[in-house]
Every structure is written in structure tokens, then in C-alpha cells.
Chain A
Amino acid sequence: MKNGLTAALIAMASPAVAADVSHFTLDNGMEVVVLEDHRAPVVAHTVWYKVGAADEPMGKSGIAHFLEHLMFKGTDDLAAGELSETVTLNGGSDNAFTSWDYTAYYQRVAADRLGLMMEMEADRMRDLEMTEQDVTTERQVVLEERNQRTDNDPGALFAEQRRAAQYLNHPYGVPIIGWRHEMEQLNRDDAFEFYHRYYAPNNAILVVAGDVEPDEVFELAKTYYGPLEPTPDLAPRVRPQEPPQLAERRMTMTDPRVAQPYIMRTYLAQERDPGAQEEAAALVFLAELLGGNSTTSYLAQKLAFEDPKAIYVGAYYDGTSIDDGTFGLIMVPTPELSLEEAEAALDATLASFLEDGVDLEEFESLKTRLRAGRIYAEDNIEGLARQYGQELAIGLSLDDVESWPDILQAVTPDDVMVAAQEVFARRNAVTGWLMPETNEGTAG
């Protein structure tokens, strides 16, 4: 579906590096990365803006995502909808997505249409136009999108509430789609103000992947993106940071549309930082070994197999972000268990994991799978383009991106346990119960 919105990207970052990567920077500051794959005559053309929902002005939640929708309206040279129509007419597909840290636009098309894609994408980087009517109608569309993704789904509402409680000060606590009451007020001026400031070549990364030659891509990029004016004095991406979190937060949410009660807990967790990805790498291992596999992970073995108390239990870690990420646990208890009993079992199992330490056989198996993942990832050049785009857009360097698989391979069992001791601090945690009615948590 067009104009999708990416939710938090969960679990293991794909630990892959493409064989042929080229890099180039235009005079106006725009970065260009080329990933070659000559197996099929197809190209993915992707532009990543280093701006997302966490960069929105206070009170304007949803504007980054709303602008992403409005980018499909017209420009001085293109009629409303013409860009997508032209992509379609050339047998391609296009889409866009917004996260807290970046906004991306992409087209997939026959490789010989790359110049045309650049021409249109460059045009809408600086010359967007839209009418009041465009804005009014599209606002209804994003409100329906919020209905569909969030308000009609108690699990999504629960996630939104937990996230708001997780971040006391950082804008990661604000939903990407926006709070409804603020979305209803977003207008054309808000969109243009955001656009003019952040949509500029010196705030963008071009990642082209597929059946292309780097020299050719650089020449085309110079032709189409080269003439664009940068935004002067673009401020560094400094967001309000979290203060020390001193009190665990707990929430109970009830909704009659919930059929299956469950528990989720998230802890604030170290993200991948430029030049310092080691702790994040250990957290990737921790999430996988503790709850990444529904059969062999520690939590699954203990809670779904040995003494079955969970229909599903898992752990996940999202550290591909500019600021603090989260480490999460989820447990869906068997019907005879209350949420209170389920949480007690989860905590007891977590405590026993901290006692037992890492299973060395599972640890080695995971390393093998991470190495194999690099082979499998070569088959999905667009997945690689997406990985490079995301990682570069959050401020990692090309060197950080390419050294990540080696950093993962260097993780030791001790590193994993040190990371576990560090991350499982209840003062940093939000624990939520989602259930159909009250008192469920204490029922036998």
C-alpha cells in the first residue's frame, strides 16, 4: 500500500554487507551509495531524508508522516499524482515510509529508467506544491490510516501507550502517525515549514541498488541532484534526552476487543552508536538467545516446553536508532494462567537465565546463522539497500555498517551476560498488561 508507515523495526538487524559498494558525495552535500547486483535488469532508487517523527516540533505530532503523504501531490513541474503515475507507466512501483529517525522514498523499476526516477525525485526535493484541498483530503486519509492501524486494534493502542510511558522526555514516546487531536489540526503551513527545512540534498542520502554501474549512477546523480540548493546551517540532530529513570512504570489496559490477554515489558536499551556498536551487538545476541527463537531460545525452552505456561514467549531488541532504543519481552500465557502468575513465571525465568548464563551450543549455532545470513542477504539486494539506507540515515558511517557483521562475530558469551545485567533494570522498565476486562490479572 502506498505511503506506508514503518513501525519499529524489530529483532535482528540483517548482518549483511553487499559485495560491491561504492560511495560518493555531491558538492551540495548529498551522499550517494551504489550497491551492484547484475542478476536482473532492475534497480531500486531510494532517497533517505535524515528527518523523522522524533524531529517534529512540539504539538505537531504526525507532521513528518503527513508530509510523506503530501510528497505524492504535485511540484512546479509535476501534476498531483503524476510522479506515481509515471512510475506505473514505466512498469515500476513506488512507495515511502516514515520512522522516528528517517523518511524514505523509493521506486523499483527497470534499470534503464533510473535517470527518470532521479529527475522526478530531485524535483520534489525542493519544488513541492499543494493546494488547500490536497491537504484537507489527505488529512482525512491519514486519519483513516490511524483508524486502521491503531484505533481499530487494541494491541496497537497498547503499544502506543507503553511507548509513551517508556520515554519520559524523548520524542520517541510520540507515535509516528501522530496523536489524533494534533493530526486533526495539521495544516499546509506546518507541512511546508517542515519540508523547507529538512528536505534538502545536504540532509539526504541516495541509495541505488541493482543492475547499474557506479560511474553511471554518479553522473546521473550529479545531473539531477547536483544543482539542488542545500539548506544552510542545518542544525545537528539533538533531541531532548532521557533523564535518569528512577521509577518502574506499570500499566493495565482493558479493551473488550481483546480476546487474548498478554504481558509486554520494555527496558530502555543502548542503541548502535557510530564507532561504538559493541554493546548493541551483545544485545542482539541476548535477544536472540533469550527469546528470538520460538523453540530453542531460553524463554521458549523453559516456559513453552519444560513447564508450559506460555502460548508464546519472546524477546526482541531494536537498537538501530539515533537515541536510546528498547529491549522487550512478551509473554502470552496459557488460558489457565492469570497475567499476575504469568509475570511471576517470566521474572523467575529471567532470574534463572542470569544465573545459568549462555548456552554455548546455542551461542555457536547463532553465530553460524549470522554468517549464513550474509549469504542469504545477497539474494535480496533491495533488503540490503534498505539496511544501508536506515543505518546511514541514523548517522552510522559506511565503515560502521560494514564492520557490523564482524562486531557481531566478535561478541563473547561474557559480553552477552554483561549486557543482560546492564539492560534488565526495572527502574528503566515499563510493564503492561493487556486484557479484555478488569480483574483478569488476579483471577486464578
Chain B
Amino acid sequence: MKSVLSALIALVFLSIPAQAAVDVQEVTSPGGIEAWLVEEHSIPFTALEIRFAGGTALDRPGKRGEVNLMMATLEEGAGDMDAQAFAKARDALAASFSFDANTDSVSISTRFLTENRDEAMALLRQAIMDPRFDQQAVDRVRGQVNSIIRSEATDPGDIAADTFYNMAFGDHPYGTNSNGTLESVAGLTREDMFEAKARTMTRDRVLVGAVGDITADELAALLDDLLGDLPTGGPDLPERVEPTLDGGITVIPYETPQSVVYFGHKGIARDDPDFITAYIANEIVGGQSDSRLMEEVREKRGLTYGIGAYLVPYDHAELIVGQFSSGNGAVSEAVQVVKDEWAKLAADGLTEEELDKAKTYLTGAYALRFDGNGPIARILVGMQAQGLSPDYIATRNDMVNAVTLDEVNRVIRDLYDPENLTFVVVGQPEGLETN
């Protein structure tokens, strides 16, 4: 897609990216809970994002899927309300609560109106502090999880992802699906739900972001009510793990017209001083819609609808992962193009022009992320999880602009590794075999 540039259009407008005008306050409640707040009083509601580090990686041995099942059952009744009564109470307030389980965290995303904020938070408190985990509710949600597990077992994309992560991480929690297996989920009990909640939702691991029609004092009071009585500490976090991806292609035969491909190898940690540099490099290689991979695999050759590569910085391991799908007749060529691009990159690095373009894009696009109370609340929590300070929002673009071509190419030489680039292909790929 990159080609002749009309210099007039391209260059005149480069200079001043929009600034994200976000005024972050650091709030500490009387009870000692910390939160980041952006006051935004023009619309009468608040988005509140709560995240606990740990996540499904804290599943106990033999109980894979317990944290996932627990989070999915949290809203199924609390205090003297069963699942129906809880849902009716929430809907009558027009509030929304979403409970999610991720690899390294569990999170609660909420929004509620100013006019009934106290009632909405009292209701949420019951779900967090006093969930019922009724046997009937656990069994009903277990049925939903089992349905997902069965469906993923025949989905080529899910088969490819599960295979790839299992090759990378083996028996470490990162190496198996957070949903668990039909067998492990069958063994989970009500007691496991209470235990999983106590292990994963603790005060020492909570991060809070709030955006909307609420003051710092109001937020502080709310947080003590909502989270103050949680257990103070949880179990040790998982051990660090090195991915075992050392090249080659693994083909999983599956009858379907288009092969799904995962590829990747070891990545870079979020707190590595070179992370931003690597992030820029990856944008150029596989991040943007006009990345090198999109250009070579899609635009020039029509071998796929879309291809991307991503830095995956878990809390205790790092990967670079790429993904695409190609018809069974085209996938062999597409895999070769990816390998060639990786080799070319490792040998020659990137150009100054590519770097400049990526900087312009990344610095301009940053402000576009801050679009709405909910998205901003999630960004605030994500920044805290990464150990960033609030002034990162103002300085991040300067850090991007300060990266030099030499730095990018040094990081590329360290990071992009054609020898160890590992492929998993699920489908009936013509001309590809496991090697």
C-alpha cells in the first residue's frame, strides 16, 4: 500500500498531533485504597473500572477453569437476591456490571447513573462481597462454559491458538485454556468458587480507574464501601516462564477450506527499557493496516484477508504472536512470505522513512484512544498495571519521537529471530508438513 506519496498532503499536516486532554487525579481513600480519577461532569454517569492482578493464572492445580467459572457466576445472585432478583435490581437502575476473567487479571467494568449511584454501588458491593454461588447457578453457568469448550474444540482458530500456547508454555497456566477442560470444569464445586474469589480479589492487588460525573471525595468514600472489606492479600503469583518455541511448522489436520495460522516466538517485557522501541518496530512489521506483512501477504499477493503481529507481554512471560488465515492452496506460499519477511527484517532492519511514518501515526493516534468514559477508565487501569505514572499520557509521544533508527534496528536484531519463528497451521494446507 505504501507507494508514491503526494508530498503536499502527507507532509504539511504532520506537525501537531492532537493532545489527549486528560487530567488525572490520584485519589487515596481514607481506608487506603488508591485510584486514578478523571472528572468529566458533562454527562451524568460514571464509568468505574476495577482490576485485580492474578487472574486465571491463579487456578489451583487440577482446578483449571475455576477463576473463569467464578467470574461468570458472580452476577448470579448475592445477599438475599437470587440471579433473577439481582438482574432485575441492576436493570431497574439502568446500571451495567461486566465481570471478566483474563490470563493475568480479573476485572469488573461498570457504568452507572449519577441519580442512583449509591444504590448501584450498594448492589455491586453485594456481588463483590457477598455472592451466593448457588449450586443451581454454578451448574447453569458450568453448562454455558462446557458449551464454549466443546465449540472451541472444533473451531480451527481456537485449535490453532490452544496448540500454539501449549507449545510455548506447556503445563504453566499460560499453556492451557482459561476455560479449563470438560473434565476439570466438571470437578469444580461451590466451595471452589468461594475459594477462587478469595484468592483473586484482594486489596493488595486491586487497581481502580474512574471517569465521569464524580468528585474525588465521592470516589474515595465509595471505594471504601465497595472494596474495603476484601481480603488483604492473596496467594503467590505464578513463576516466570520462558517460552519453548524454537522454530518449525506444526500442522494439525482439520477438514476446513481455509487454514488458520499462528506464528511467533519469544517477545519483550513491558517493563523492559526497550519496550517502546520494540512496540514501534512491531507496528511497522505487523501492527498497522499498512504494515509490511499486510503489504506483502495481502496487498501484493492476495493470500489473506488480514494478517497481524502483536507483542504479548504477559506478567510472567513474553511473546510476539502473529496470526492469519489463507485458503488451503495459498497457505504454503503465505507462510514462506512471512518467513522471508522475518529473515529480511533481521538482516536489514527498517528504514528511516518507515520509522518516521510510524512515529507520526503512533503519536497522532494516541489521542484517539481516549474516546469515552469507559475506554479512558480502562486505559487508567492499564497504565497502573504497567507501572506507569499519570504523566505518561503527556510524555508518551515524546518518548516515541525520541527513538532513533539505530535503536530500532538494534532491538530488531535482538528480538526478531527467523531461526526460532514457530508456526502452527490448522487445516488441510497443500504443500506443508510438520517439521
Contacts and interface: CB of A to CB of B under 8 A. Distances in A.
Interface of A: 1-2, 39-42, 72, 77-82, 84-86, 88-93, 108-113, 116, 119-120, 136-145, 147-149, 151-152, 256-260, 293, 295-296, 301, 304-305, 308, 311-312, 332, 334-335, 361-362, 365-366, 368-369, 371-373, 375-376, 378-382
Contacts of A361: 88
Interface residues of B, number: 77
Contacts of B10: 85-86, 89
A376 B362 CA distance: 29
Interface stretch (B1-9, B25-33, B50-58, B262-270): B1-9
B326 interface: yes
B88 A259 contact: no
B83 A145 contact: no
A120 B8 CA distance: 13
Given A88-B289, A379-B43, A305 B83 contact: yes
B72 to A, nearest CB: 11
B361 to A, nearest CB: 5
Given A41-B18, A88-B361, A138-B302, A259 B151 contact: yes
Contacts of A119: 9
B68 to A, nearest CB: 16
Interface of B: 1-6, 9-10, 13-14, 16-21, 40, 42-45, 83-84, 87-88, 91-92, 94, 111, 113, 140, 143-144, 146-147, 150-151, 153-156, 255-258, 260, 288-290, 298-306, 325-327, 330, 357, 360-368, 370-374
Contact of A260 (B20, B43, B150, B304): B150
Given A42-B18, A375-B44, A91 B365 contact: yes
Contacts of A85: 1-3, 5, 10, 290, 357
B368 A91 contact: yes
A42 B92 contact: no
Given A91-B361, A144-B330, A305 B84 contact: yes
Contact of A141 (B87, B111, B146, B305): B305
B147 A260 contact: yes
A382 B371 contact: yes
B372 A152 contact: no
A92 B368 contact: yes
B1 A81 contact: yes
A273 to B, nearest CB: 29
Nearest to B370: A40
B280 to A, nearest CB: 14
Contact of A81 (B9, B153, B290): B290
B9 A144 contact: no
A375 B43 contact: yes
B114 to A, nearest CB: 9
Contact of B40 (A39, A92, A113, A148): A39
B18 to A, nearest CB: 4
Contacts of B366: 91
A366 B88 CA distance: 10
Nearest to A210: B371
A82 B304 CA distance: 21
A152 B156 contact: yes
Given A84-B1, A113-B13, 10 more contacts: A40-B20, A79-B5, A90-B14, A91-B360, A144-B325, A144-B327, A151-B256, A152-B256, A257-B155, A381-B371
A2 B291 CA distance: 12
A77 B6 contact: yes
Closest 9 pairs (CB-CB, A-B): A91-B364, A140-B302, A81-B1, A372-B94, A110-B18, A147-B258, A295-B87, A145-B305, A137-B302
Nearest to B304: A144
A303 B260 CA distance: 36
Contacts of B256: 151-152, 257
Contacts of B14: 89-90
A110 B367 contact: yes
16 contacts: A42-B368, A85-B5, A90-B360, A91-B362, A91-B363, A111-B18, A141-B298, A295-B87, A308-B143, A362-B88, A365-B92, A372-B113, A375-B113, A378-B43, A379-B373, A382-B371
A85 B327 CA distance: 28
A280 B83 CA distance: 31
B302 A141 contact: yes
B144 A311 contact: yes
Contacts of A293: 87, 91
Contacts of B84: 295-296, 301, 305
A81 B295 CA distance: 10
A148 B94 contact: no
A311 B14 CA distance: 53
Contacts of A375: 43-45, 113
A380 B17 contact: no
A253 to B, nearest CB: 15
A294 to B, nearest CB: 9
A39 B372 CA distance: 9
A282 B10 CA distance: 50
Nearest to A297: B87
Contacts of A120: 9
Contacts of B368: 42, 91-93, 108-109
Contacts of A382: 371
Nearest to A137: B302
Contact of A369 (B20, B83, B91, B289): B91
B371 A2 contact: no
Contact of A304 (B1, B140, B363, B367): B140
A112 B14 CA distance: 11
Given A41-B19, A296-B87, A116 B45 contact: no
A264 B365 CA distance: 41
A41 to B, nearest CB: 4
A147 B325 contact: yes
Contacts of A91: 17-18, 360-368
Nearest to B212: A379
